[in-house]
Structure formats: C-alpha cells, structure tokens
Amino acid sequence: TIPPLVPSPPKGERVRVRGSLILSGPSHPARNMAVDEALLRCAQEEGIPRLIVRFYGWDRPSASIGYFQSYRAAQAACAGEAAPRFIVRRATGGGMVRHGADWTYSLIYPKNALAGEANDYQFVHSLIAQALKETLGWNDMAALPEELGHRGRIAQCFAQPSAFDLMRGTRKIAGAAQKRSKGWMLHQGTVDLGGDTEAIAGTGEAFARILEEHASAEISQRELTPGEEAQAKSLMESRYATEAW
C-alpha cells in the first residue's frame, strides 16, 4: 500500500540563494543535455550560491539514457516504433526516458540549497505534486515508499519506479536523476502529464512559484548568458552530438 503524499518543509539548514528561471522551449536533444551541463559548469566556476530552474522541450521524438546505460540497448528498445527516436546520453544516471509530450525540467543548485542531498529528490517531487494538484486538480498522487522502490540498475525509467518517485495509482508520473559535482547538484526531471501538452506551461509556472516559496530563493526569468551559450555549444559539438558519447 502506498501512503498519501504529505509535502513537508525540508529539514536542515539551507542557504538563501538568488534564483533564475530559463524557458528554453523545444530544442535538439543534444542541445538540451549540453545546456544543462553548461549551466552546472558555469555555476561552479562562478561560485555564487544560486538556484537555476530550466524548462525545456524536444524538437523531435527522442529518448534520453542514463550515464551508465548502453546505447545499443536503447536502440534495440526503441526499434520498431512508428517514428525513429534520437537517443542522447544524460550526464545523470537512471533509466531510459522516452520524450515527446512530457514536461522536462532541470535544477542546478548548491547541494545544501534545498534540503540536503538525502532529501532533495523527495522534496522536489512533493512540490511537483502541489503544482499538479493546483493546475490539474489531481488529488490521487503518492510518493513511492523507499521499501517499494526498484533496487539496482534501471533500464526503463517509467517502467521501474524508484523510491520517492511520484505515482498516480500504479502509474509513475514523475521521476528524476541527479549528478553531484564539486558541491553542486544537477537534477534532471520529467513529468508525464498523460499527453496533455497544453498543461505544461501552467504546471511549470506553478512549480516555479511553489519552489520559490519553499526553497528560500528569489526567482526571476532570464536568458542564457553569452558564457553559458558558448559552453553549451562547445559541449554539444564535443560530446552530446557525437557517436562516441
């Protein structure tokens, strides 16, 4: 039995940070991943505690795979689908995710800016649940208890729910993967809205506002800086768009 989700404020000390919201729109899969890593690297180089929230989409049928997954296995899993998918490797772990009508987002922040490493995953999903309840009226969501989560390597992200994934009945609706690097976190998440693409904008707006309220951050919208854009372009060309990656 999965208990009802009860959002609670994070425990432990948090750093007061300034935040930014970047609305990227649909992009090439390789660029999507390159921008996320570029934002992480630039934030690390700058060294100023801040929270970056980014929403983005996919300009073609796509699938992202975890850092440790097999590209050939992903190709085999997608073989036979009506439309071929562009497969891109993430910098984060986790299983393969098919992208198209889902809402994808990323968070970049110092590791103690939200709730501490151990609680961030659950905390972010609790805020997503609040946003979904507000925008879509969903009241039947629950966080998967740790003891019921899939253990070991995950092949298909939405077919193998992990601890604290967001569930609606027996269906997983939100999952994420994280990368910890030099005291910073990259959190890449996706939410299955059941094909309701018109709900993406409203859900994103609600999530950003709720996150601002709960994460001790003041979030304002901005574009990529020239430095972030240059870093993303370099990473896309040297890594994410290459066969070797």
Q: Could you report the per-residue pLDDT of 103-161, keeping only the tens digit for each? A: 999 999 988 777 655 478 888 999 999 999 999 999 999 888 877 776 666 667 777 78
b (16+ CB within 10 A) / e for 217-240: bebeeeebeeebeebbeebbeebb
Burial class (CB in 10 A: 0-12, 13-18, 19+), 122: buried
Question: For residue 6, what pLDDT is reported?
Answer: 39
pLDDT digits (tens, 9 = 90+) for 75-84: 898 988 877 8
What is the arithmetic mean of pLDDT over 91-105? 92
Q: Does residue 157 carry a catalytic annotation?
A: yes
User: Sign of torsion, CA 228 231 237 241?
Assistant: negative
- pLDDT given at position 62: 94
**Cα(3)–Cα(142) distance, integer angstroms:** 7
From the candidates 157, 166, 173, 211, give the one annotated as an active-site residue: 157
Side by side, the strands of the sheet bearing 62-65 are: 86-89, 62-65, 97-99
> Per mean pLDDT, which range of 12-16, 123-127, 219-223, 224-228 is the poorest?
12-16
Does pLDDT of 32 surpass 80? yes
Mean pLDDT of the chain: 87
Q: What pairing do the DSSP bridges indicate for beta strands 62-65 and 86-89?
A: parallel
DSSP secondary structure letter of residue 92: S
130/134 Cα distance (integer angstroms): 6
In whole angstroms, what is the distance from residue 110 CA to residue 47 CA? 9
Q: What share of the chain in percent tops pLDDT 90?
A: 58
Query: From CA 164, how far away is CA 9, in angstroms rounded?
Result: 15
Contacts of 33 (CB under 8 A, 6+ apart): 64, 88, 89, 90, 91, 240
Residues 233 and 66: their CA atoms lie apart, in Å, by 21
pLDDT (0 to 100) of residue 129:
94
As a whole-number percent, the residues of the chain with pLDDT over 70 amount to 89
Instruction: Give the model confidence (pLDDT) of 182-219 as tens digits.
Output: 989 999 999 998 888 888 989 999 999 999 888 778 89
pTM, two decimal places: 0.89
